[in-house]
Amino acid sequence: MRPEEDGFSLQKVRDLPTLPLVASRALAVAENPSSTPRELLEIVMSDPPVASRILRVANSPYFRREREISDLQTAILHLGFRNVRNLLLAVTVMDTLTPLFQRSKTRPEDLWNHSSSVAAVAARIAGIARCPAVGTTFSAGLLHDIGKLILNCYLPRSFECILDLCEEERLPFAQAERRVLLRGHAALGAELLESWNLPSDLTQPVRWHHEPQRCPEPQRSHAFALEIADYAWHSHAPQDPAIPPPPREHLEAVGLTAESLSQVMQNEAQAVVPAPGL
């Protein structure tokens, strides 16, 4: 069943949301090599809800150090320019897509709770791997499944067919959608982010989180972390079809073994971050 997908392009969707000004300004600052942390600070402070969420993330167990971070300037120094920029982009994307849920059968709390849980576990894995940009892994985790919302809203018949296959044949979503679509949710999600000119730090892990070995090298560790975190989450969801565990070489790429993965999975239930406010 692919006729619905024929000719579909996000560029042709007229009612697709646009990114708010705060995200566009953050992208402009990030692309300017002479930009300073002070400029990013001013952009974040211009949007109090986004600012409060970034502070909440900065004080989460995945980033916090010896003492509480109480101001944005310290958060930027602690998390780093790129991590804060990516967190800002992730939370504004989440807000921007919220209106789509009104025409979707997907409940926002279901998608965001899954995404924030995967983000938290992926950040923990990135920390084990001593990845220098744990915040970027977290941000990519928040966005990794937004393609499912695009499928639900703009390719509804295909989405229903995928769900039917998942239920009738107990197939994982990613496997079922390969029978129905040429492009799956990971590719569609990445295409949406690319249409907004989001950085490859975010778009590439989203595109390849089900095939991390194909992700370009600079972002590959983030994609491996997302794949493993997604597996850990689904392993704790008894209503979901079983998905195969990540190959050993994927675990080794982020410094994990089968034993240490078991420990990560035992801790997974503690990783839920309330949605949609992070």
pLDDT digits (tens, 9 = 90+) for 207-251: 999 999 999 998 999 999 999 999 988 887 766 667 888 999 999
Residue with tokens 């892994």: 137
Give the whole-angstrom CA distance, residue 2 versus residue 256: 39
- What's residue 5's pLDDT? 62
User: Which of the 8 DSSP states describes residue 240?
Assistant: S
Give the whole-angstrom CA distance, residue 63 versus residue 78: 8
Give the whole-angstrom CA distance, residue 227 versus residue 36: 34
Q: What is the mean pLDDT of the chain?
A: 84
Instruction: For residue 188, give both structure tokens.
Output: 């569609």
What's the CATH superfamily of 13-271? Answer: Hypothetical protein af1432 (1.10.3210.10)
Domain boundaries, the chain: 13-271
- Roughly how many angstroms between the first and final C-alpha of the chain, as a whole number? 37
Residue percentage of the chain with pLDDT more than 90: 31
- What's residue 12's pLDDT? 67
Which amino acid, 8? Answer: F
Candidates 266, 172, 179; CA nearest to 227 is 172
- Preceding omega of 276 cis (within 30 degrees of 0): yes
Q: What is the mean pLDDT of residues 181-209?
A: 93
pLDDT tens-digit profile of 139-170? 999 999 999 999 988 888 999 999 999 989 99
Residue percentage of the chain with pLDDT more than 70: 88
Instruction: Mark out the alpha helices in the chain (DSSP H runs).
Output: 21-31, 37-45, 48-58, 72-79, 81-97, 108-128, 134-143, 146-154, 156-169, 173-180, 185-195, 200-207, 217-235, 248-253, 258-267
Q: Show Cβ contacts of residue 265 under 8 Å, excluding neighbours closer than 6 positions.
A: 232, 235, 236
- What's residue 273's pLDDT? 45
